[in-house]
Amino acid sequence: MKSFQVQTQTRNQLVDITAQVQEALRELGATDGVCTVFCPHTTAAITINENADPDVCRDWLENLNRLVPAHQDYYRHGEGNSDSHVKSSLVGASEQVIVENGKLQLGTWQSIYFAEFDGSRTRTVHIKFVST
Ligand code: ZN
How far is residue 91's CA from residue 86's CA, in Å, rounded to a whole number? Answer: 9
44 neighbors 122 (Cβ within 8 angstroms): no
Q: What pLDDT is stored for residue 41 in this prediction?
A: 98
Judging by beta carbons within 10 Å of its beta carbon (0-12, 13-18, 19+), is residue 58 exposed, middle or buried?
exposed
Q: What pLDDT is stored for residue 84 in this prediction?
A: 98
| Cα–ligand 1 centroid distance for 125 (angstroms) | 19
Q: What pLDDT is stored for residue 98 in this prediction?
A: 98
User: What's the pLDDT tens digit per position in 14-53?
Assistant: 999 999 999 999 999 999 999 999 999 999 999 999 999 9
Q: What pLDDT is stored for residue 106 in this prediction?
A: 98
How far is residue 67's CA from residue 22's CA, in Å, rounded to a whole number? Answer: 32
* Mean pLDDT score, 95-124: 98
User: What's the pLDDT tens digit per position in 52-108?
Assistant: 999 999 999 999 999 999 999 999 999 999 999 999 999 999 999 999 999 999 999
| Cα–ligand 1 centroid distance for 81 (angstroms) | 5
| Cα–ligand 1 centroid distance for 51 (angstroms) | 30
SS3 73: coil
| Cα–ligand 1 centroid distance for 29 (angstroms) | 37
Angle between helices 54-67 and 82-91 (to 10 degrees): 120
Question: Side chain identity at 12, as an amino acid letter?
Answer: N
The pTM score is 0.97
Q: What pLDDT is stored for residue 49 in this prediction?
A: 98
* Mean pLDDT score, 4-12: 98
| Cα–ligand 1 centroid distance for 80 (angstroms) | 7
| Cα–ligand 1 centroid distance for 83 (angstroms) | 9
Q: What pLDDT is stored for residue 50 in this prediction?
A: 97
| Cα–ligand 1 centroid distance for 121 (angstroms) | 14
Q: What pLDDT is stored for residue 85 in this prediction?
A: 98
Q: What pLDDT is stored for residue 79 in this prediction?
A: 95
- In the chain, what are the domains? 2-131 (2.60.120.460)
